[in-house]
Amino acid sequence: MPKLLIANWKANKNAATTVQWFADFAAELTKRLDGQKLAVKVVITPSFPLLALARQEIDTLMADWKTRMLPECGIELGLQDISQFGAGSYTGAVAGQNVAWLKPNLVVLGHSERRQYFQETSAQVAAKFDQVADLPATAVVCVDRGEVVPQARALGPAAASKVIVAYEPVEAIGTGKHTGVDQVTQVVKEIKTAFTAQTQVLYGGSVDELTINEYVLVADGVIIGTASLDGTQFARVVAAAQSTPMV
Ligand code: PGA
């Protein structure tokens, strides 16, 4: 299975900077790959209002790149969140039905910023998982170390066996703090014990082009925030991941 790289744009960007990002990303990645095929799966998660534009940009890029990717690799669209309610009278919410037409490949749930600033709980994350089940998308559930067991319990065994889990230590998010690979390896084990042995586990927290290699060796992929905001810089992160032996 190819490594999964998620570009988490959070609440950044507008229409003009989104278009610019794709132009910069495509130009730099083409240069860096230098004729090699793309061997990782990249998912871009813009804020809701930018999804349709990003979908258009991705479709154009993928049409151009048809022959330049290994099977199961390429660029996909993802969501940063979803409402815990279905479609209906929930002003301000975004339900699966509202975004299904944009063909999201995955939905990030329970990011620490959602837990911290929006008081999201593991029970709410479990309710959101049920909404993701309505989409042809996989849920990526973010947890810090102390949330591994409570989140697996809140999801229940059936849901827990279907999600991808991202280990995101709060102290490393947006801070430049480098989490030791031994610690990531240990928490990946704890996640596989609490979820399932087959669960794909990602790491997220200040990953950049200099550190991505070590993380993709011990995790199934990474979530990248700050280093994904500039298209040129993110293309370098992707190229660095791909250059890791065994990726
Ligand atoms: P960061 O963000 O790369 O800026 O630390 C990662 C994340 O929030 O998922």
pLDDT tens string 29-88: 999 999 999 999 999 999 999 999 999 999 999 999 989 999 999 999 999 999 999 999
User: Does 17 have pLDDT greater than 90?
Assistant: yes
Q: 139 is written with which tokens?
A: 């849920």
Is the CB–ligand 1 distance for residue 8 below 6 Å?
Answer: yes
Q: 86 is written with which tokens?
A: 């279905």
pLDDT of the residue at 247? 59
Is the CB–ligand 1 distance for residue 104 below 6 Å?
Answer: no
Using CA positions, which residue lies closest to atom 6 of ligand 1? 225
Nearest to 110 by CA among 74, 78, 147: 147
Is the CB–ligand 1 distance for residue 206 below 6 Å?
Answer: yes
Report if pTM > 0.85. Answer: yes
Using CA positions, which residue lies closest to atom 1 of ligand 1? 225
225 CB-near residues (< 8 Å, 6+ apart)? 8, 10, 173, 174, 204
User: Does 210 have pLDDT greater than 70?
Assistant: yes
Q: How far is the CA of 26 from the centre of ligand 1 (A)?
A: 22
pLDDT tens string 144-191: 999 999 999 999 999 999 999 999 999 999 999 999 999 999 999 999
Q: Are the C-beta atoms of 162 and 198 separated by less than 8 Å? A: no
pLDDT of the residue at 85? 96
Query: Distance between the two ends of the chain, CA-based, in angstroms?
Result: 9
Is the CB–ligand 1 distance for residue 74 below 6 Å?
Answer: no
Residues recognised as catalytic? 111, 168
